[in-house]
């Protein structure tokens, strides 16, 4: 099967399954497992700590051994994690599932982007990233009504079913995914650990040659700092800070799922606009657009925390989710342009994920402690944690100008 087709199917299927699970997952953790705001954030911190510990080793493994194998292993672990979480509604089991999922995530992050860049070439990879994001949006949208239907019967059902289907996805990739563009070092010319260490050194050398990468990594750190509180607390905020809509006649699975569906439709249109108009812009223009995007996200998260009504809070969440969806592939495309050594591509993409995880580990527990007192205050603090990216974008713009 052609690489781009596999990549689009992979993005669509993975997003469909994640959406199937996440449409109800936070509701499950709040209403069935009974987690407090601090416990919700600690669940995320466990996930991110696992990603932080294993991101570089698995990224280097993908550069040294096989992107394809790394991706398949990742989705196998992801499937097992969600089956475990949905089957046993206990805080300890949810934490264990995050460890397995975090490990699985590190096998796929970096390796997926590096695989398609190897197969298509760097010039075509930027457009592929955006097409992949669009496929993911479509898959996520398709999953929402399925998750609502299944979750209305039993909120655990979409989680367990999603885990089983991740195992099926891994089997499909084992059959359909090729690896023609990747050239690992011949076994006779390396030892695994020596090759890993050399790959890390090569990646460090590339960052020193491309100073803008350092600014991008700094931006990624602050994105991690702010995002954990938002991701873990927006659902309990809407559930517990406001009266239920329509007099409580609809279950949270239905009206929160409907909100996710609306956000997915709007995000799909925004993604198409980004693909047509933005991805091929010069890097300096991308930096300015992303700086404006971040300023709007800061305002949106603050509004979410301060909103006096459910509808205004839901509107703020929809704005933030759409802006984040547009920003992610633009960041990937910009970052990919600055990686001029394909041998370290997966490692450097993994570094970005590790930096994001470090930020979430640092910011999450603080926001969770505040959230046990006031979820509103925790969301406002999350917005403030993103503010430092604005001067970092200015630094990136200057470095892009110096590079030309």
Rg (CA), the chain: 20
Q: Which two tokens stand for residue 192?
A: 């695994």
- Spatial distance between the Cα atoms of 154 and 322, rounded to a whole number of angstroms: 29
Spatial contact of 320 and 298, defined as CB atoms under 8 Å apart: no
State the Cα angle at 392 between 280 and 229, rounded to 5°. Answer: 95
| Its pTM surpasses 0.85 | no
Residues sharing a CB contact under 8 Å with residue 271, sequence separation 6 or more, in sequence order: 130, 133, 134, 137, 325, 326, 329
Q: Give the up-direction half-sphere exposure of residue 383: CA atoms within 13 A in the CB hemisphere.
A: 21
C-alpha span between 166 and 186 (Å, rounded): 32
**Residue 58, pLDDT score:** 76
* Measured distance CA(118)–CA(346) in Å, rounded: 10
| Average pLDDT of the residues of the chain | 84
| Residue boundaries of the structural domains of the chain | 3-177+199-403
- Confidence (pLDDT) at 6: 92
Quote the Cα angle for 271-277-281, to 5°: 115
Among 335, 367, 363, 365, which Cα is nearest to 125's?
335
Rounded Cα–Cα distance for residues 2 and 71 (Å): 17
Q: Which CATH architecture has domain 3-177+199-403?
A: Up-down Bundle (1.20)
Q: Would the pLDDT of 364 be above 60?
A: yes
The Cα–Cα gap between 383 and 228 comes to 11
Mean of the pLDDT values across residues 135-148? Answer: 90
* CA 62/CA 353 separation, integer angstroms: 14
Q: Which residue has the tokens 């239905």?
A: 254
For the stretch 156-175, pLDDT in tens is 999 999 999 999 999 999 99
> Contact at 8 Å (CB) between 208 and 340?
no
The winner for highest mean pLDDT among 27-41, 172-186, 194-208, 246-260 is: 27-41
Nearest-angstrom CA–CA distance, 338 and 327: 17
Cα dihedral 303, 375, 293, 324 sign: negative
Q: For 319-352, what is each residue's pLDDT tens digit?
A: 999 998 888 777 777 766 666 555 556 566 667 7
């Amino acid at each position: 099967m052609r690489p781009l087709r596999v990549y689009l199917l992979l993005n669509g299927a993975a997003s469909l399954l994640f959406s199937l699970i996440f449409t109800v997952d936070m509701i499950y953790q709040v209403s069935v497992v009974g987690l407090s705001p601090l416990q919700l954030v600690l669940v995320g911190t466990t996930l991110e700590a696992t990603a932080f510990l294993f991101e570089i080793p698995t990224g280097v493994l993908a550069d040294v051994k096989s992107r394809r194998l790394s991706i398949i292993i990742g989705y196998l672990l992801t499937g097992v994690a969600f089956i475990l979480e949905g089957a046993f509604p206990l805080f300890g089991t949810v934490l264990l599932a995050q460890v397995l999922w975090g490990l699985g995530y590190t096998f796929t992050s970096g390796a997926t982007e590096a695989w398609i860049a190897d197969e298509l070439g760097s010039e075509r990879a930027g457009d592929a990233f955006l097409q992949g994001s669009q496929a993911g949006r479509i898959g996520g949208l398709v999953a929402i009504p399925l998750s609502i239907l299944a979750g209305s019967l039993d909120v655990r059902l979409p989680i367990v079913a999603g885990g089983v289907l991740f195992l099926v996805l891994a089997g499909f990739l084992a059959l359909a995914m090729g690896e023609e563009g990747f050239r690992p070092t011949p076994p006779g010319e390396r030892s695994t650990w020596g090759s890993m260490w050399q790959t890390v050194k090569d990646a460090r050398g590339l960052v020193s040659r491309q100073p803008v990468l350092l600014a991008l990594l700094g931006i990624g750190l602050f994105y991690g700092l702010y995002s954990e509180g938002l991701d873990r607390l927006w659902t309990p905020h809407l559930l517990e800070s406001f009266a239920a809509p329509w007099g409580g006649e609809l279950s949270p699975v239905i009206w929160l799922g409907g909100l996710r569906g609306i956000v997915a439709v709007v995000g799909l249109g925004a993604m198409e606009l980004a693909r047509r108009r933005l991805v091929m812009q010069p890097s300096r223009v991308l930096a300015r657009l992303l700086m404006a995007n971040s300023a709007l996200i800061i305002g949106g998260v603050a509004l979410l925390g301060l909103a006096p009504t459910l509808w205004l809070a839901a509107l703020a969440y929809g704005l933030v989710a759409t802006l984040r969806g547009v920003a992610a592939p633009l960041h990937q495309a910009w970052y990919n342009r600055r990686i001029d050594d394909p041998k370290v591509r997966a490692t450097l993409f993994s570094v970005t994920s590790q930096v994001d995880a470090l930020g979430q580990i640092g910011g999450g527990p603080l926001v969770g402690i505040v959230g046990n007192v006031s979820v509103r205050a925790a969301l406002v603090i999350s917005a403030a944690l993103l503010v430092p990216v604005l001067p970092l974008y200015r630094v990136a713009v200057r470095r892009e100008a110096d590079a030309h």
